Amino acid sequence: MTADGYKIGVRGCQHLGYAARNMRLARTTGWNQRIVDGHIAHGLIMQDMVNARVDGIVDGGDLSHWNKPIPRDIEIANRVDDLRASARIWAIANSGNHCAGGGSDLSAMSIMHRPHLGMNAVYPDPKRGPGDGPGPQPGLYEVHRPVDGLALHFVSHYGLDKSLADSGIRIDPEPLRGNVNLLFCHGVFDADGRLYQCINPHGEERPIPSDWAHRGWDAVLLSHYHTAGPIPGFGNDGQCQVWYTGSALTRGFADEPGPRGWLLVTVHGPGAVDIELRTIWQRPQFDLATIDATELSPTDLDDILAANITGIPLADEESALISGDGGAIVRQVIRNTSPAQRQALSARAGRYANLARDAAWWNIAYEQRIDAPVPSGGSRAGRDLTRRYTDFAAELRLRADHLVKAVKVPSRMRQPVLEQAVRWASEINSAELAETDRQG
């Protein structure tokens, strides 16, 4: 290690191939613009790391949004990784929940396993023989030592599987004496109060035991939660720092707003590790001031909505220069609407789309009161087929008591958890959910 320290660039949750439903299509390729944004962000992060003269690169997992990435995204991943290889920088890539396959499927991260080019991926491979691959548990828990005195510990999404104990496999990472030890995991940290904001339909949610952070690591670097930065309560009074790497993109409005980028980890020696968030470009995203429609006339609603749309910059010069499309991502949440109000707004949808024509994505999301009364006759009486499949927020409110008990949400967190879940369910109602067809 040099006097300036040993530098490692750490990224996570690149989600190549992620697409937002109803997003504008890129003019040059016809791809969903959010897919293009993801490719660009991935390249910007790599170029930033190379320019920062890092000695090594760690990918925390979920490089691809899909377990079986399509050739377009594989090509981008390899082309960007060629920049690293040309700069003679080593790299190690962990497997996340989006990487994980079912049954005999290999991790999507296996496409990046290119040892001849200095890239090693952490994933279970049934073709490996006993003792083949870095230990102590290849693909589950691996320790890599790129230079003397530095031990990088990787526990993959697979390594957090509680059922491993049934097969006699115990994953129990411990620092190596006489080394600077960094622990990398992909999962939900038990000690982080934001755990319940990580609900994700891709793969099982696997917790990272909180006691792992108290074993004498020089730093713990986690991926999965998309808000980058240190976890509150760590890094003081002799405790090691615990950081989340964040993500390359904001995925719709389910992710918290905030900077996107990568972590520059500088190792000076035992107990002396500096961590800095380096940010990159991201497309402007606006959640317009929520409108409470209670007792508003359709004309009042129209006036407020039109003023909200025209009161923000819908286009951004930097985004146009970088991505070829300067449009912002814009959402208007309207609460407590009546059927008549929604019908009036629907009749004027063309007017609002025209006002927001410069935006790359525009949508209205309807939310009802969490404490709204249950219709007489119970939750199933009088429902038509359309409501059965689209009113997810109402269904969630009806089943809330059972759900929070089933997933053992602490009583003090039940209200904020329910409010967040209802917001997400309302986004599904408004077709914002971004799990579109894989071609973009």
**What tens digit of pLDDT does each residue of 312-338 get?**
999 999 999 999 999 999 999 999 999
Binned at pLDDT 50, 70 and 90, residue 409 comes out as confident
pLDDT at 244 over 90: yes
Neighbours of 201 (CB within 10 A): 8
pLDDT at 28 over 60: yes
pLDDT at 297: 93
**Residue 124 contacts by C-beta under 8 Å, 6 or more apart in sequence?**
107, 138, 139, 140, 156, 158
Query: CA-CA distance, 189 to 195, in Å (whole number)?
Result: 7
**What tens digit of pLDDT does each residue of 134-165 get?**
889 999 999 999 999 999 999 999 999 988 98
Angle at which helix 298-310 crosses helix 339-347, to 10 degrees, equals 50
Which is more confidently placed, 420 or 58? 58
Residue 6 near residue 150 (C-beta atoms within 8 A)? yes
pLDDT at 387 over 80: no
pLDDT at 376 over 70: no
**What tens digit of pLDDT does each residue of 43-53 get?**
999 999 999 99
**What tens digit of pLDDT does each residue of 51-89 get?**
999 999 999 999 999 989 999 999 999 999 999 999 999
Compute the mean pLDDT over every residue in the chain, rounded to the nearest whole number.
85
pLDDT at 102: 64
Query: Where are the CATH 3.60.21.10 domain residues in the chain?
Result: 6-279
pLDDT at 13: 94
User: For 57-61, 109-113, 421-425, which range has the lowest pLDDT when averaged over its residues?
Assistant: 421-425
**What tens digit of pLDDT does each residue of 309-319 get?**
999 999 999 99
How many residues belong to the chain? 440
- Alpha helices of 52-179 — where are they, by DSSP H? 71-86
pLDDT at 439 over 50: no
Residue 381 three-state SS: coil
Average pLDDT, stretch 352-365?
95
Residue closest to 196 by CA, chosen among 431, 23, 403: 403
Which is more confidently placed, 347 or 428? 347
- Yes or no: is domain 6-279 CATH 3.40.1350.10? no
Average pLDDT, stretch 394-420?
72
Binned at pLDDT 50, 70 and 90, residue 429 comes out as very low
Phi-psi region of 173 (alpha: psi -120 to 50; beta: other; left: phi over 0): beta
**What tens digit of pLDDT does each residue of 253-310 get?**
878 888 999 999 999 999 899 999 999 999 999 999 999 999 999 999 999 999 999 9
Average pLDDT, stretch 231-243?
83
Residue 93 near residue 119 (C-beta atoms within 8 A)? yes
Compute CA 187 distance to the chain's CA centroid, rounded to the nearest angstrom.
Answer: 11
Q: Is the pTM of this model over 0.75?
A: yes
Write out the E strands in 168-315: 180-186, 188-189, 207-208, 219-223, 229-230, 241-244, 261-269, 272-279, 285-292
- Tokens representing 86? 């040309």
DSSP letter string, 288-339: EEEEE-TT--HHHHHHHHHHHHHTS--B-HHHHHHHS--B-EEEEEEES--H
